[in-house]
């Protein structure tokens, strides 16, 4: 794994894993980042009507599984606030490294088998694995599981270029209201729905997630 940037300093000015593509943003490194619109459509960090439609805990477990496989330090240390409030805890995250023998629910294991195949050798995604997962998920959800499994391999470019922002940059919770995720009508609607259901959708970006701890969801935090 790269510990220092492998591209000239002048090329990494302003780089971030996800960046906005627009006519007003002429930063050349935006061209090699993940388009932020893709991350929004992949439901990171909140589900909208246009994005992938997966349970937030399963979504986050798939993302974190691939973060580990790809060895993305930044990705591994971030947590989606919505997923934490929906029940994601650190025991579940720890179980990802040995998910087959873990106490994770069967439907999560079935999804992770798909993710594992997509991110390592998709030729291993057998009819049996697909059929097992189909016992728990609709076909639309299976498509989303494949696409999310693919989407979360995008960190390979950042890691290979030596531009992983590192643990320190992401040992925190991602909230749907953070500026990076934009202000589209779909997001605003999704955020309003979450807020109405008692979910905390905003917080200080620097809010730390203590290592090994579980953040307990609490409507009283609203």
Partner 1 sequence: MSRVSNVVDGPTDLDRVWGKRPEYYGVFMSDYNDSLDRADAVLVELCRIRIAQLVESAFDNSLRYQPALVAGLDENKIAELSKYLESELFTERERAVLEYAEQFVIQSSSISDDDVARVQAHLTPEEFVYLTKALGVMDQFARTNSAFRIEPPEAVPPTLPAFVLQPAAS
Q: Which of 20, 27, 32, 90 binds partner 1 (CB under 8 A)?
A: 32
Q: Minimum distance from CB of 126 to partner 1 (Å)?
A: 10
Footprint of partner 1 on 64-93 (CB under 8 A): 70-71
149 binds partner 1 (CB under 8 A): yes
Distance of alpha carbon 65 from alpha carbon 113, whole angstroms: 11
Task: Count helices and strands (H / E) in the chain.
Answer: 11, 4
Q: Minimum distance from CB of 62 to partner 1 (Å)?
A: 13
- Using CA atoms, how far residue 2 sits from 67, 120, 162, 191, in Å, is 15, 20, 5, 37
Residue (60 or 144) nearer to partner 1, CB: 144
Among 74, 79, 45, 71, which residue's Cα sits nearest to residue 148?
A: 45
Cis peptide leading into 45, omega within 30 of 0?
A: yes
Q: Residue with structure tokens 């691939």?
A: 66
* Contacts to partner 1 by CB under 8 A: 1-2, 6-8, 11, 21, 31-32, 35, 37-38, 41-42, 50-52, 70-71, 114, 117-119, 121-123, 125, 127, 130, 139-140, 142-144, 146-147, 149-151, 153-154, 156-157, 159-161
């Amino acid at each position: 794994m790269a510990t220092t940037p492998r591209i000239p300093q002048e090329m990494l000015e302003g780089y971030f894993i996800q960046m906005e593509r627009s006519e007003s943003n002429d930063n050349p490194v935006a061209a090699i980042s993940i388009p932020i619109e893709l991350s929004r459509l992949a439901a990171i960090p909140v589900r909208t009507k246009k994005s992938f439609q997966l349970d937030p805990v399963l979504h986050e477990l798939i993302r974190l599984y691939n973060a580990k496989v790809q060895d993305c330090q930044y990705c591994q240390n971030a947590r989606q606030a919505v997923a934490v409030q929906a029940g994601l805890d650190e025991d579940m995250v720890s179980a990802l490294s040995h998910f087959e023998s873990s106490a994770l629910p069967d439907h999560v294991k079935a999804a992770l088998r798909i993710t594992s195949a997509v991110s390592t050798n998709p030729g291993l995604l057998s009819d049996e694995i697909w059929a097992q997962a189909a016992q728990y998920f609709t076909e639309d959800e299976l498509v989303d599981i494949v696409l999310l499994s693919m989407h979360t391999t995008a960190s390979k470019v950042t890691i290979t270029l030596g531009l992983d922002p590192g643990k320190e940059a992401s040992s925190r919770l991602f909230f749907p209201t953070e500026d990076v995720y934009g202000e589209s009508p779909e997001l605003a609607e999704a955020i309003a729905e979450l807020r109405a259901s008692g979910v905390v959708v905003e917080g200080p970006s620097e809010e730390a997630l203590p290592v090994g701890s579980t953040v307990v969801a609490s409507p009283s935090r609203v």
